[in-house]
Amino acid sequence: MQPMKSRTVLGSAIGVVLAAALLPAREARAAEAAETTSLLKEITVTARKREESLQLVPVSVTAVSAEDLEVQSLNSLKEVAQFTPNFTISNQGQAGSSVGLVYIRGIGQSDPLPTNEPGVGIYLDGVYYGRMQGIDLDMMDLERIEILRGPQGTLFGKNTIGGAVSIVSAKPADEFQGRVKLTAGRYERRDAVASVNLPLVADRLALRVAGSSRHSDGFGHDGNGADMGSIDNLSGRATLLATPSDSFELLLALDVTKVRENGPVRDVLAIPTRPASGIIGLLNALRGLNGLPPYDDRWVNEDPFNSFATEGNLSENDLHGASLTATWSWDSYALKSITAYRDSDTYYCVDPDGSPVTIIDQCISTTHHQFSQEFQLNGQSFDDRLSWVAGLFYFTEQAHTWGDIFVITDVFTLPRPTPPLPPPIDITFSNDIRIDNESYAAYAQGTYALSDRLGLTAGLRYTSEDKQGEIFRNRIFTPGVIIPFTQNSKSWDKLSPRLGLDFRWTPEIMTYVSVAQGYKAGGFNGQASRNDAFTAYDAETAWTYEAGLRSDLLDGRLRFNVTAFYSQYEDIQFTVIQGNAQGEPISTVQNAGKAEIKGGEIELVAVPAEGWTFNAAVGLTDANYTRVNPEVTAGSGVTTDSHFIKTPKWSLTLSGQYERPVSERLGLLARVDYAYKSKIYHDAANSPLIVQSAYPLLNARLGLKERDGGWSLAVFGTNLTDEHYIVAGTDFRTSLGFAEVQYARPREWGVSVEYTW
């Protein structure tokens, strides 16, 4: 980033807010100001499976409301992560934009194959997403997003060793409402979002329907001139709420998403000079004999947003979901049943070598089907001194991943001379992987008021996992089976506890301490290159100790929350990519380490004067390996000095917002958002070529809206300092001779028009 450019843009953006503050007041200013509160808004969350104030929850939670998403110009979960401390979502190196890798406080999932498990649970209206394919959800028509840090196993479905992301959509209401929003911007951006709420039977039946269409041209091009980094998706959601009596509620939800995009923007950073030996040497010799250019540094493009690649360039997703939530309430108890089914079809083709030479091309399909059933019983006991929840959870899934990986195919497709060239080495293959998993769990958690100010929380979850996996791999150009049909199965079970104390010093100040164990199920090495390598690896666990302060100060004008944590992370599941003697990239997944992670979050919200709101948040994740198994990581470069992947040590967000009436009907809103993340390593070996150095992001928005609904107009900019930052990368230099990265979207701007009723 150029310092002068950044200061200029930052100064201009701050000037937007200051200019808004200096606008002359109209005659109605005094009356309108009397209607506007200077106090902080109370935030209601369901982090503990019941509605309660965020300030009463002894867990590190960041809550993002629908209004927050709007004023920050955020449209996807990945964008939310950029402005949330200790929370990252990035692309997977080869799958590109079709797959998200989610990390909270350094814990997540580095390989999205269905043989592996997520480390952070994603939930939509209480329904767990079993796979990372297609999780970068559209943020249309939501009520809020809750990002819960640290192990959440005693209350949330499964695999929440790092934390949980709970997405809560807007529920049908007993009022006719609607919204239409159109957005246009750079790169031919054309978005349309609409929702309508229809009360069908007063107080008894309501329907809510929402949909979105998002399109944007790519900001890069491949060797064929086709776009890279385009956006093209359709999403829809319908919810029907029936309340036949005051004690019974039935909510049916259906959603669908269709994505038809080109692949992400990829750039080859290095193609080292190689001697005329090995598979690359053979390839270059053969290309030379046929009058073709070799694979060398001529294919390194100086423009980071353009590539010489001529093959795969697409990312497709089809997602469907249905859930039925029934709630019975009586006295101080509530019983909830959540029955859900989800499926997804993902297909992507990539050409990461950045050239018309076929060094490696991939086309991979993944289908996934899941069914879950959860029963929750909430209640108050012992004269309401005990608030508790207990539940049963069942989850089953089937997934199938298959596709072709073309590696150095020119040695078979080009005319070959007679010896002295050695015979070709066939390392192109077709892969087929299937899984069939079941998970059972029982859990309970309660908070008992030992006094009017002191509360004790205890929870326990028992989880049982049964897994089956199958793999088959064969060659494409020469007859032969690499891995014959091979099966494996294994079961795991685990008790995960939580214990905590919270104390209310005053009605506005609460502190707490807690300890919890997180659990992430084991799996199989789906990247195996031999049948005896399709082995099972064990679960990983983390004990997390946490202390926090929650406070509302200065008569409700200042909210100051602090959390500190320390985690002992054991049996870490490493995914390591290495090259074999033929130059073929080989991945292994094994439990290979222990680590200590310490850090915390500080979040502040201030309302210093009428119309002004300031937010600041800092996250620290200091993660260090304390043991690494050299038998697993030998030759990979992974040591106890290595850094965690996808985990910036520091993350920071700052924002300033100003609102004021400019007439009897119109109000103005100006906002600036700044985010900063320190250095991010994108592979376990910490390759210096694919490290993202510290970078800032700056968004700004200026809008006018009618005070009582109706029309609104806003202009906005994202990534205003035009940072070119990496969201994924792979270093194949020890195997295929190149390193490549994927870039996030550059500076964009746009205008939105909205009408609500």
CB 601 within 8 A of CB 86: yes
Contacts of 650 (CB under 8 A, 6+ apart): 618, 619, 620, 676, 677, 678, 694
Contacts of 131 (CB under 8 A, 6+ apart): 112, 114, 118, 344, 366, 368, 370, 397, 399
CB 105 within 8 A of CB 99: no
Measure CA 294 to chain center: 39
Say what the pLDDT of residue 29 is: 33
> Which structure tokens are listed for 735?
């195997």
This prediction's pTM? 0.90
CA-CA distance, 474 to 43, in Å (whole number)?
55
Say what the pLDDT of residue 271 is: 82
> Which structure tokens are listed for 600?
């915390």
CA-CA distance, 268 to 356, in Å (whole number)?
13
The alpha-carbon radius of gyration of the chain (Å, integer) is 27
Report DSSP state, residue 454: E
β-strand partners of 20: none
β-strand partners of 190: 184, 215
Residue 136's nearest CA partner among 97, 190, 95 is 97
Question: What CATH number has the domain bearing residue 21?
Answer: 2.40.170.20
> Which structure tokens are listed for 418?
């007679």
Burial class (CB in 10 A: 0-12, 13-18, 19+), 52: middle
> Which structure tokens are listed for 379?
């209640």
pLDDT in tens, 271-307: 866 545 567 888 888 888 888 998 988 999 889 999 9
| Virtual torsion, Cα 513, 39, 675, 218, nearest 10 deg | 120
CA-CA distance, 389 to 446, in Å (whole number)?
6
> Which structure tokens are listed for 309?
């690649």
CB 161 within 8 A of CB 597: no
Residues of the chain under the 70 pLDDT cut: 1-39, 93-98, 272-278, 419-420, 576-587, 632-636
Residue 353's nearest CA partner among 54, 733, 71 is 733
- Domain range spanning residue 253? 3-756
Distances (CA, A) of 288 to 214, 224, 283: 46, 23, 9
Q: How many domains are there within the chain?
A: 1
> Which structure tokens are listed for 182?
């159109």
Residue 75's nearest CA partner among 191, 210, 163 is 191
CA-CA distance, 589 to 597, in Å (whole number)?
21
CA-CA distance, 278 to 427, in Å (whole number)?
13
CA-CA distance, 94 to 102, in Å (whole number)?
16
Residue 255's nearest CA partner among 139, 86, 119, 156 is 139
